Structure 1
Amino acid sequence: MGHLLELRSRLLKAVIAVLVVFVAMLPFANRLYAQFAAPLLSKLPAGGQLVAIDVASPFFTPVKLAFFAAVLLAMPVLLYQAWAFVAPGLYQHEKRLAKPLLVAAVALFYIGCAFAWFLVLPTVFGFLAAVTPEGVAMMTDITKYLDFVLVIFLAFGLSFELPVAVVVLVLLGVVTPAQLREARGYVVVGVFILAAIITPPDVVSQLLLAIPMCLLYELGILAGSLLRPKPAAD
């Protein structure tokens, strides 16, 4: 019962944190969406614009964006609450390893989202605008655009967690750095297949996801080699 009460308390604090940020961002929802649409609008030809197909989408779409932005901004609080719940059950050496891994996971997720925002989205939208057939007006629905960009954010944010996943597997003894190096060829093929599945159907976004994932895999091997406990001497 004590664990359930603690879990309820942590979940309540996490929900309150998201709601506080969400309420604070609601008055700026339309302005936030205008900034959110900038990567696409900057690549559209003169006179290009976003359109609202559904009657209520001009209201609900900015609100939906504000909610996801609130979750993203409150992510450190959410992860801290999760950490505070599980930390009492960890040994001291496990805490020493878990803390930097948790910080690295948060940082890599944000880096993945920033990479998608500043490089991937402008490149993808520029490519799509360039290949639009002549006589076709590229006018995207605001809800479809939001869903598209959120998928990109999620794909790159989670994909950038690859080094953390590799390090955890090494620390748990599931694999060794040598085995990871031997499997490099299979991993590269798998990464490109995964990128083709989770990204939009264009070569540009697939390459922009697959190439960093390959580099992050190598970074994970290096970090795993450095953090791996040394075998005890006889």
Structure 2
Amino acid sequence: MPLMDHLRELRNRLIKAILGLLVGTVVGWILFQPAWDFLKEPYCALPASRDLNGHCSLVVNGIFSSFFLRLKIAFIIGLVISAPVWLYQLWAFVAPGLYRQERRWTYVFLGAAVPLFFVGTALAYLTVDKGLSIFLGFVPEDVAALITVDHYLGYVLAMLLVFGLTFELPLFVVVLNMAGVLSSARIRRSQRLIVFGIFVFAAVATPSADPFTMLALALPTVLLFEVAAFLAFLNDRRRGRRPDPYAELSDDEAAPLDLEEIDASLEEGVGAKDGVERGERAR
């Protein structure tokens, strides 16, 4: 396709994706209250979240804070609900330029990436109250903790994103190994350094940086990395069983070329091109 046709195609795909996101945001605006009750549940389960009257309370410190809170949560819900729409538009724009092998890898990647991300976010949701309880536990009994809505929502969203995206890292190890960039032998040589790097990353990336949250992120990531290293080992072992067609060639010997097969493929391509041109002239 010419460049302008690519740009028109991109424009049409973006318009459809944005329309789907807008519809999802409207649905998220309607579903705000149950979504907000779900997000604040870890905080309200803590004794320190109660005010002097015994109610679970979060505060706002601006006139427009409550409006932007509702809009932000509606946008997040809309992003999740409309994910099939904008993911399909992205795939429909990229897929025509991919080979069959690359499309297969994309299916495998998305089929594993989506469940891993949601498993990470589920684990983050279960550990949100643990990190909060550690720091809110220092609040004296006769003092009410006035946590703003913006700070709490930012903390929860950061936890969900950090856990969800970190669970994708072992998947990249498998993809790099399938592409031939990273071998299982190199993974084994760097295994101790990678495990140490995972713990350092977990300590830095978690918003609360408390030991429990760090271990909750690091230990499952290390387990997923070990699974990825094992899959890389199996893939290299399977690849090593394939006969090498160039094993018997010396370093200064050229590889044999099947000229008849090359000529046949060229003739087939030329014939297909002539058929297309004749069809266009006939129209």
- Same fold, TM exceeding 0.5? yes
The alignment status of 1:210 with 2:218, answered yes or no, reads yes
> For this pair of structures, how many residues does the alignment match?
233
The alignment status of 1:35 with 2:38, answered yes or no, reads yes
Structure number with the bigger relative contact order (C-alpha 8 A, sep ≥ 6) is 1
* 1:185 partner amino acid: R
1:49 is aligned, of 49, 54, 57, to 57
Q: Deviations over 1:112-138 (max 9, x none)?
A: 111111x21132223333343454422
- 3-state DSSP class of the match of 1:54? coil
2:17 is aligned, of 14, 17, 28, to 14
Cα 1:76–1:105 shift into 2, 3 Å: farther
Unaligned runs of 5+ in 2: 245-283
Please report the TM-score for the alignment, with normalisation by the length of structure 2: 0.76
Q: Is the 8 A contact 2:27 2:74 kept in 1?
A: no
* 1:103 partner amino acid: G
The alignment status of 1:230 with 2:239, answered yes or no, reads yes
Q: Which moved more, 1:72-81 or 1:10-19?
A: 72-81
Q: Is the 8 A contact 1:44 1:138 kept in 2?
A: no
- CA drift of 1:139 comes to 2.5
Q: Is the 8 A contact 2:170 2:225 kept in 1?
A: yes
* 1:106 partner amino acid: V
* 1:233 partner amino acid: P
Q: Is the 8 A contact 1:162 1:220 kept in 2?
A: no
- CA drift of 1:140 comes to 1.0
2:166 — aligned with what? 159
Q: Distance in 2 between matches of 1:131 and 1:188?
A: 32
1:4 — aligned with what? 7
Q: Which moved more, 1:23-32 or 1:123-132?
A: 123-132
1:111 — aligned with what? 119
Q: Distance in 2 between matches of 1:219 and 1:131?
A: 39
Q: Distance in 2 between matches of 1:201 and 1:133?
A: 22
1:67 — aligned with what? 75
- CA drift of 1:79 comes to 2.5
Unaligned runs of 5+ in 1: none
- CA drift of 1:41 comes to 0.8
CA RMSD of aligned residues (A): 1.9
* 2:157 partner amino acid: L
Q: Which moved more, 1:223-232 or 1:23-32?
A: 223-232
- CA drift of 1:55 comes to 2.1
- CA drift of 1:89 comes to 1.3
Q: Which moved more, 1:220-229 or 1:31-40?
A: 220-229
- CA drift of 1:155 comes to 0.3
Q: Is the 8 A contact 1:32 1:62 kept in 2?
A: no
Please report the TM-score for the alignment, with normalisation by the length of structure 1: 0.90
Q: Distance in 1 between matches of 2:86 and 2:117?
A: 14
* 2:243 partner amino acid: A
Q: Distance in 1 between matches of 2:142 and 2:191?
A: 46
